[in-house]
Amino acid sequence: KSLLLINSGMAPMKKYFLGLEEPPNKRVTTCQKCIRTPDIERVGITARHGTFFEMLGNFSFGDYFKVDATKWAWEFLTEVLEIPADRLWISIYEEDDEAFDVWTKIHGIPAERIVRLGKEDNFWEHGTGPCGPCSEIYFDRGAHIGCGRPECAVGCDCDRFMEIWNLVFSQFDSDGQGNYAEMEMKNIDTGMGLERLACVMQGVGNLFEVDTVQNIMKHIMEISGVQYHNDEKNDISLHVITDHIRSTTFMISDGIIPSNEGRGYVLRRLLRRAARHGKLLGIEGLFLSEVAKTVINENRTAYPELVENEEYIVKVIHAEEERFAKTINSGMEMLKELLENCENNTLSGDDAFKLYDTYGFPIDLTRELCAEKGISIDEEKFTELLTEQKVRARTARKDVSGWDTNEIDLSNIGETEFKGYFEKKTAASIQAIVSGGELVETLEEGDSATVILSATSFYGESGGQVGDTGLIVDGDNVFTVSDVKKDNAGHFLHIGTMTKGSMSVGSVVSAEIDALRRHRIMSNHSACHLLQYALRSVLGSHVHQSGSYYDDHRCRFDFSHFSAMTAEEIAKVEAMVNEMILADWDVVVEELPIAEAKNKGAMALFGEKYGDVVRVVTMGDDCVEFCGGTHVAKTGQLGVFKIIGEASVAAGVRRIEAATGMGVLELLREAEGQLSACAKELKLENKSEVPNKVASVVKDLKEKERTIEALNAKIAGGQV
């Protein structure tokens, strides 16, 4: 769950190795798409580094172990693929005598072809939990490929010995303190890079010369006019573009869009790095989206979803490259000037931050360009400025009562039980009161405070839905709630003012929400579920929720899409939502095991973490989403749905604002009022005459402008 991107064949299997879930079978074989970016600067320079690769793997969960895993690996390489055994070498963990005996005594591998390496190379361990030694199988590409040193052998950093298969024997349980207990249920985790294997089978020098990958590079050569192996720097750029366009094409197809954080930032960085290397090859225009078509064509059989998503992939890449073209031109000019004038071969942190903050110039690109010229960056100052910016931009944690939830110890206060799915009025006791930045026992009339109850019907702001408003009542004593939030400890924070009388900790009260306001909020929330379903139907399955906001007036829905919606698309979406409202579907809310919810087709918020049991909201047959918010009972209760506007909020992210029910009526009244004001200004009795009158006025103005231009021309010519 903590991974931005799947970076190994084992990553999706980790939950099985840790015993968190039951594997679908004790024996599993996979081909896993992987993205790995820590060595991004080495891509294109070495024969073995790339950000995108396909990892072949076979796994055993308490079934076969060391003897069978090694036997089948050797059989596959030497008998099925017919790789000469005298070209293969094996490394083992230096203390794994069992593996040495298996390879030599059972499989008959000569001892001199087995190399013992240390823990750093041949022992897989990540903190605590399952771990163990591994055996790696290497292919000897020949002495002419290597570094030429007499001591060159398996484990050398040169390109002679290429690791093609890693067999991990997960047999110990580590406590993280250097203690290893033998596990009763031993596991096997293997990984073999498809591209590296293809290099061996096709007898080529690097992964960029593998047939399907080479065709991508040939397309880049056609566009740029450069030839392979004519210039080392050009070769590096060809490699970088080839690798990065493979990665980005698959990432976009899998639902990632360019952004400034997380997965989206990795995607943006790869695309922009590829675009920059295109400029180094002399490519002036936009070209990456065209090369992406070749990536799609080369992988269409194994990954047909690329063909299905081709239009979307191409448009996203084109839009991002176009955006970067504007950034890089201004940024490059400024950076060039700064590098010419920098002191002590160091670019100041202030200048690096200005490039990043003002010109949108990626710091990674600044680092790369500086490194090429032997110039360092004052990273400490840059980080300081970036941190200051984040502090300024960060949403303050302080609530309207003026206190920080991290400053007051609420650990002795139990969680608030939420009853608001079914109750509008809930009996509860006051657990705590915070006023003036500290815990207090009593509230007097006029005091502003935050009240924590044992139970509540008030919804706390979360998932885009605003908090409820209403009253907390104890006889004639009234606390007016203006907002409700939740902290990480499960407390509902009722924010407001003591409007009548007084209250104390321990008082038994009635928590009563504003039911009419809640209904309008629920309507707008439910409408956004229907909206997402309609957007995916009209625009495509690439649409995913990127953000949302629901209050009692309007709803706002942010979603992934590469371009502005047309008027026709907006009309289709609006009509579809209203058809679903008129269908008056039941809104079914249920709690399900997460696996069952996923099998049901429930839409999840991308990147969100969920527990074993999730709340699922279903409207009709196919509109199914994970959701913890409140909803209407039937879609017909929304009344009507109206899209107010559609606009861009970030690269690849669009926003729709809309209203339902009484909110639409308010919009109509507002529009009618504006139309009446226009009619009055134009001295018209009938509002329906406004369009014709406006057209007439515009026509008259244009004629007068032409007359004025003609008179000005005569004056300039001295004819008047």
64-109 pLDDT, tens digit per residue, is 999 999 999 999 999 999 999 999 999 999 999 999 999 999 999 9
Task: Tell whether pTM > 0.85.
Answer: no
Q: Which two tokens stand for residue 341?
A: 């004038």
Question: What's the pLDDT score for residue 646?
Answer: 96
DSSP state at residue 309: T
Question: From CA 442, how far away is CA 505, in angstroms rounded?
Answer: 7
pLDDT at 399 over 50: no
Average pLDDT, integer, range 389-411: 59
Question: Burial level of 87, CB count in 10 A (0-12/13-18/19+)?
Answer: middle
Q: What is the mean pLDDT of the chain?
A: 90
Report the percent of the chain where pLDDT is more than 70: 96
Residue 527 · residue 644 · CB < 8 Å:
no
Average pLDDT, integer, range 435-440: 90
Residue 672 · residue 661 · CB < 8 Å:
no
Question: What's the pLDDT score for residue 572?
Answer: 98
The Cβ-side half-sphere exposure at 609, using a 13 Å CA radius, reads 4
Average pLDDT, integer, range 606-612: 70
Question: What's the pLDDT score for residue 720?
Answer: 53
Residue 452's DSSP bridge partners are 432, 493
Question: From CA 651, how far away is CA 564, in angstroms rounded?
Answer: 11
pLDDT at 628 over 50: yes
pLDDT at 393 over 90: no
pLDDT at 18 over 90: no
Question: What's the pLDDT score for residue 435?
Answer: 93
Average pLDDT, integer, range 559-580: 94
pLDDT tens column, 127-140: 777 889 999 999 99
Average pLDDT, integer, range 313-330: 86
Residue 649 · residue 558 · CB < 8 Å:
yes
Residue 191's DSSP bridge partners are 166
Question: pLDDT confidence of 395, banded at 50, 70, 90?
Answer: very low
Question: What's the pLDDT score for residue 651?
Answer: 67
pLDDT at 277 over 90: yes
Residue 192 · residue 186 · CB < 8 Å:
no
Question: pLDDT confidence of 401, banded at 50, 70, 90?
Answer: very low
Q: Which two tokens stand for residue 496?
A: 């407001």
Question: From CA 50, how far away is CA 248, in angstroms rounded?
Answer: 12
Question: What's the pLDDT score for residue 465?
Answer: 96
Question: What's the pLDDT score for residue 211?
Answer: 92
